[in-house]
Structure 1
Amino acid sequence: MDNALINRTIEFLLLPPGNLLLLLGLIVLLRKRKVLICTLLALGFLQIILFSLPITANKLMAGLEQQYPPQANLWNQTPLPEAIVVPGAGRNRGAIEYDGESTSISGIERLRYAALLHRKTGLPILLTGGQPLPNVRSEAELMRDVLVDEFNVPVRWLEKESHTTWQNAALSNKILQAESIKSAWLVTQAWHMPRSMMVFQHENITYQAASVSFGSIIPWSDLYMNWIPQPTALTRSMIAMHEWVGLLWYKLRQ
C-alpha cells in the first residue's frame, strides 16, 4: 500500500462522514455506558448537519479561495511568467464515451483556463499527474488528450510519476529547472491554490496563482437556504476540510 493511499484512508476515517465508522466502533465498545453513547450519537448527527449547511461550506471555502482572489485578464500582466503548470485533478474511470477514461470535471476546469492562458500568451504547458494503479494511463496523459484533441493546444512537458500535490510540485520543479524556467503560472481551483502554492514554491522558481472556480463568491438568491442542510454543501465542506487538513499536514512536514 503506497503512502498516498494510506493518507487518504486516514483522512477518510478522521473526517465526516467516514469518522462515523469510528463513532460506531466506540458505541460498540461502550455499549454499557448509555449517556456516553447518546452523546456520541448526538455529536455524529450534529457534525453532519453542520457540514451540510451552505453557510458552513461557504465559510470554509472562502477562507481558502480568498487567499488568491479572482484576477481578470491575467495575461496582461508584465512581466509574464515563462510557463504554465497544471496539476492533475483525478480521473473519470467510467467515461465510456471517451474510450473508458478521461480527466475529471475539476481537471477540465483547469485545462480550459490553461488553454486560454496559452492562446493569449503562447507560453508552454507542463502537465503533472501520475498513475494511481499499474497498467493505466497517467493523469498527465489523459489531460494531454483533452488539451491537444479538444482544445487544440500543444503540451510541452509531461510529468507522469506523481501521486500527491507534494510530488506534483517536486517533480515539476525538476523539469522546469532542467529547462532553465524561472517562473510559471500555477493553474488549479481557488480552494486548492493555498496548498498548491505552499508546496510548489521553489528557491529557483517563482510561481504565480492562476486560480479558477471561485464558488464562495457566488451569492445565494434566497438567503434562508444558507441554513437548510443540502448534500452539495456537505460535498463542498468535505473538499474544504480536505484542503485545511492538507495545509496543516504540509506545515508540519516543512
Structure 2
Amino acid sequence: MLLNKLIHLILLPPLSLLLLYATGLLLRRRHPRLGIIARRGAVGLLLVLSTNIAATALLRPLERMEPPLLAPAARGAQAIVILAAGSMLRAPEYGNQDVPDYITLARLRYGARLQQETGLPILVSGGNADPVRGLQPKAEGMARALREDFRTPVKWVEAGSETTAENAANSARMLAPAGVRRVLLVTDAMHMARARLVFERAGLEVVSAPTAYFTTHAFSPLQLLPSASGLSGSYYAVYEWLGLFWYKLRY
C-alpha cells in the first residue's frame, strides 16, 4: 500500500512537475536545450494546473459521465452503498476519534437523504485501518456519523477495503447473503465512472447516485489565476483520469 501511495505521488502534480524541473537541472550541462524545455515545461504546467479553469476543464468531462439521480425510489434498488473518501484523524472535539472528512461527509449527507426518500438499507464501505498507528477503519466513522449525526440507520459496515476495487468486491460479498443485486451507489461525481466500472465487474447492478459536483460554479476571471484550490482540483482530476484508465485496463 505504501508503494502504491508513493507511485501516486510521483505521477501526480505537483511532485511530478518538481521532478520534471529537477530533471531539467540535471540536463542543463550535457543537454542544455532539453534542460531548458524540461524546466520551462514544468513551470508552465504548474502555473496552468494551478488555475481553477484548468481544473474545471479536466473535471467536467468526468462529472458529466454520470448525470444526477432522479426519482431514486423508482429505480428498483435494494440497498444504498456509500463509499469512503478520507478521515480527519484523532479529532480532539470528538474524543480523539477518527471522523469523516468533508468529502466523505458530503457523500454521507446525500446517502442519508436517499435513505429517507427510499427506506433502503445502507452499506458503508472503507477500510485503511492501521492498529499500530491507531487508525480506525473509515467505515466505522461513517457508520457512527450516520447514526449519531444524521439519525440514519446503517445495516452493513464493510471495513476491510483499501481501494475502490476492493470496495466493490467486498461490498458485493457482504450483500450477497441478503440477495441484494441492485444498489444505489453514492460517491463523488468525478469518481463515479471508475466506481461504477468495478462495482459492475463485481456482479452488482449499479444505479449511479453522484454527489459533490465541483464544476457547477459560474465563470469568474479569478479562475484564470493560480491558486491552491485550482492545483487541488487538478490533482484530483489527474488522479481520477489515471485511475479510470488503469481500471479499464485491469478490470
- TM-score for both structures, normalised by structure 1: 0.91
The match for 1:45 is 43
Task: Return 5+ residue gaps in structure 2 as ranges.
Answer: none
| One of 15, 19, 34 as aligned partner of 2:12 | 15
Counterparts of 1:109-120 in structure 2 under 5 Å? 109-120=106-117
Counterparts of 1:235-254 in structure 2 under 5 Å? 235-254=232-251
How many aligned residue pairs are there? 247
One-letter amino acid of the counterpart of residue 99, structure 2? S
SS of 2:208's equivalent in the other structure is strand
The match for 2:62 is 64
Matched, 1:170 2:169: yes
How far apart in 2 are the matches of 1:29 and 1:49? 22
| One of 231, 235, 249 as aligned partner of 1:234 | 231
Cα offset, 1:187, TM superposition: 0.4
CA contact (8 A) 1:173 1:202 kept: no
The match for 2:91 is 95
How far apart in 2 are the matches of 1:157 and 1:192? 22
Q: Which moved more, 1:211-220 or 1:162-171?
A: 211-220
RMSD across aligned positions (CA)? 1.7
The match for 1:107 is 104
CA contact (8 A) 1:16 1:47 kept: no
Off by >4 Å, runs of 4+ in structure 1: none
The match for 1:225 is 222
CA contact (8 A) 1:92 1:103 kept: yes
Structure 2 vs 1, CA of residues 242 and 150 (structure 1 numbering), >3 Å: closer, same or farther?
A: same
Counterparts of 1:135-154 in structure 2 under 5 Å? 135-154=134-153
Cα offset, 1:119, TM superposition: 1.0
Cα offset, 1:22, TM superposition: 2.3
How far apart in 2 are the matches of 1:94 and 1:36? 47
SS of 1:131's equivalent in the other structure is coil
How far apart in 1 are the matches of 2:135 and 2:90? 13
Give CA-to-partner distance per residue, 1:26-47, whole Å, 9 cap, x none: 2454241333222211011011
SS of 2:59's equivalent in the other structure is helix
Instruction: State percent identity of aligned pairs.
Output: 35
How far apart in 2 are the matches of 1:105 and 1:243? 18
Matched, 1:160 2:156: no
